[in-house]
Amino acid sequence: MNKKALVAEVAKKAGTTKKTAQKVIDAFVEVVSDALAKGEKVRLVGFGSFVVKERAARKGVNPRTKEPINIPAKKVPKFIPGKNLRSKV
């Protein structure tokens, strides 16, 4: 499902226009992104949690030249599904 299809489904389920559903989805994505950027956790009971995980620095290999390279540590967003979502899937 792409964003356009998601907007259509949300509009249909909520009984609202696609334009309003688009604004709500965009606002949700922005709020979650801002919270994760601050290092906060976003928990939606029954659905799941969005968290920021830290990846340690590690050694890697350049596939083209086969030379060893250093991959720096970084923070990455992660979604952890809730119990209800896991049971549906």
Domain that holds residue 31: 3-88
Question: How many Cα atoms within 13 Å fall on the side-chain side of residue 83?
Answer: 1
pLDDT given at position 34: 96
Q: What is the CATH number of the domain that holds 7?
A: 4.10.520.10
Number of domains into which the chain is organized: 1
pLDDT for 53 equals 95
Per-residue pLDDT of the chain (89 residues; tens, 9 = 90+): 999 999 999 999 999 999 999 999 999 999 999 999 999 999 999 899 999 999 999 999 999 999 999 999 999 999 999 999 999 98
Q: Is the pTM of this model over 0.85?
A: no
The answer to whether the CB of 79 falls within 8 A of the CB of 53 is no
Distance of CA 2 to the CA centre of its chain: 14
Identify which of 37, 21, 47 has the alpha carbon closest to the alpha carbon of residue 75: 37
